[in-house]
Structure 1
């Protein structure tokens, strides 16, 4: 039986991944800080991944066939994980934001982000700094793992909608438009890629059980702009053009993922129109 360690995995689509792996018959262990219990039927370890000694003590002599790292945001965290965790394969949940410096008018392939220079001296412990450098933190974390000896895959996740989305970004549209207010958008909002929380849970569980390496983009077919999202919420949405502080998902750059690698590896994604209306109604019912 394959042994899998999931770092994080206690909320939103991470919990769904754990449940899928458990239901597939894998021997699953969840490691988190203990603020949220792990799903039933899996082992649970409590440790702070930023505390290297505490992490090592919690793991003891355990080794795993695969580690799925849901909560790695910095190169410092990646380096600690490389030193402490014993595994035959490492999978990191990354983000579409690793492409935040790319300017293109065609879907973005994984090769557009080369190995990123790593700087451990930056203030990665500072919450405000980390939030402002989210994409760079993920790029550098990917680079740390890719430079190691353990086979490594990174899943660059599109913007996630549906379910218990704690970000409130789609809710912003629903609440404003249902109240008759306008949403703030760029003069020419560009499209980006989205994925439903069920589908990214499916994809991460699938990736965990496969053996490919390298980065892979994950997103539903059918890119959407901020105006497309608004029109899924209201028949006649109102817009206000702004130069800054636009509504979530309003981008002034083209930010669409090319998912042909994932498709070639054997995973079939849905189309956003299959589930966007459902995601909107979930928010209204909540």
Structure 2
């Protein structure tokens, strides 16, 4: 039986990889610190990769494949030193490329990080380059999966869940801070005929977005592990213009809310940024150098079995997770900011 070790395996992508590998009939072990339970049917082994001997509990076995999602080169160096395997599967990122558009796997990479542990997001791309190099120089085959934005159920960042959630919960024209409140509601608070809520969106409908469902990425990673695909692969969803992605989010939410396009310069004046963080609009970023992130050439991965589901399906399936989440979303506009931007734009 194929034996797969997942370094991690209890959260989001690693968990989905482990779940699908077990479902496919493989013998799966996860090594993690234990902050969350592993999927059913997975052998869990406690280990802290921040410790020099953190892999000792799995170091005495031979694995058909090892799947790793780490950010830190020191973790890779220890894995190469301590583990016996025929094949590595490393989840890297499209952030390893120098800024550009329409990149294939031969495009220039950033200079590798020279430290052992990244400490700031500015080091993220270079740190992943260093991790890639360590696995490729290990003397064994390695799948280097350069992933784009990953979304779907379990996406704690909220980047894939914000838009369907916001279209499902627009700031209603009756909200006391909404600009339509005084214009379209009478003294008795009755809604005027035809008044629909609006959703703040960037006025950049052609901005190229790309999102891969965590379930589709995990399925391809399991294939890469079992078929021992060697080399670098861009692994993300197809390029979809922002306007089309927002329409898919509204469809997934069953929403009649209307997009309210606001020019990027005005959004900046109102304190709204792109991509991630407080008062931000995900899937979009007002930086010409980063527009290529959503235009990666994925033909090599598609030719090796990558299949991606329609974006509306990912949005529809992530919405229940957003509705039930307890932790704060790490992106988007809260109701007060949404109303403020609608009022002041």
Work out whether residues 116 and 143 of structure 1, in 8 Å CA contact, stay in contact via their aligned partners in 2.
no
1:217 aligns with 2:216: no
1:272 aligns with 2:310: yes
Query: 1 CA distance for matches of 2:23 and 2:40?
Result: 11
Output one character per residue of 1:204-229: Cα deviation in whole Å (capped at 9) or x when no partner: 111111122111122233x1244333
1:66 aligns with 2:95: no
Deviation at 1:46, TM superposition (A): 0.7
**Residue from 79, 82, 93 that aligns with 1:81:** 79
Structure possessing the higher radius of gyration over alpha carbons: 2
Secondary structure of 1:216's counterpart equals strand
Query: 1 CA distance for matches of 2:130 and 2:64?
Result: 24
Deviation at 1:182, TM superposition (A): 4.3
**What TM-score, normalized by structure 2, do the two folds share?**
0.71
Partner of 1:111: 106
Unpaired segments ≥5 residues, structure 2: 172-197, 251-255, 275-280, 325-345
Work out whether residues 164 and 319 of structure 2, in 8 Å CA contact, stay in contact via their aligned partners in 1.
no
**What TM-score, normalized by structure 1, do the two folds share?**
0.84
Deviation at 1:272, TM superposition (A): 3.2
**Mean Cα displacement is larger for which, 163-172 or 201-210?**
163-172
Deviation at 1:257, TM superposition (A): 1.7
Deviation at 1:249, TM superposition (A): 1.4
Work out whether residues 38 and 44 of structure 1, in 8 Å CA contact, stay in contact via their aligned partners in 2.
yes
Q: How many residues align?
A: 274
Unpaired segments ≥5 residues, structure 1: none
Query: 1 CA distance for matches of 2:22 and 2:31?
Result: 15
Work out whether residues 31 and 46 of structure 1, in 8 Å CA contact, stay in contact via their aligned partners in 2.
yes
Q: Cα gap change, 1:26/1:20 in structure 2, threshold over 3 Å: closer, same or farther? A: same
Work out whether residues 176 and 183 of structure 1, in 8 Å CA contact, stay in contact via their aligned partners in 2.
no
Secondary structure of 2:16's counterpart equals helix
Output one character per residue of 1:17-70: Cα deviation in whole Å (capped at 9) or x when no partner: 2122112222211100011122222221111112122322x2242221110113
Partner of 2:200: 183
Partner of 1:237: 259
Partner of 1:162: 152
Query: 2 CA distance for matches of 1:280 and 1:225?
Result: 20
Query: 1 CA distance for matches of 2:112 and 2:216?
Result: 32
Secondary structure of 1:254's counterpart equals helix
Query: 2 CA distance for matches of 1:277 and 1:55?
Result: 37
Output one character per residue of 1:93-127: Cα deviation in whole Å (capped at 9) or x when no partner: 1222223x3222xx321111448434026x62x3x
**Mean Cα displacement is larger for which, 111-120 or 211-220?**
111-120
Deviation at 1:142, TM superposition (A): 0.8
Cα RMSD of the aligned pairs, angstroms, is: 2.5
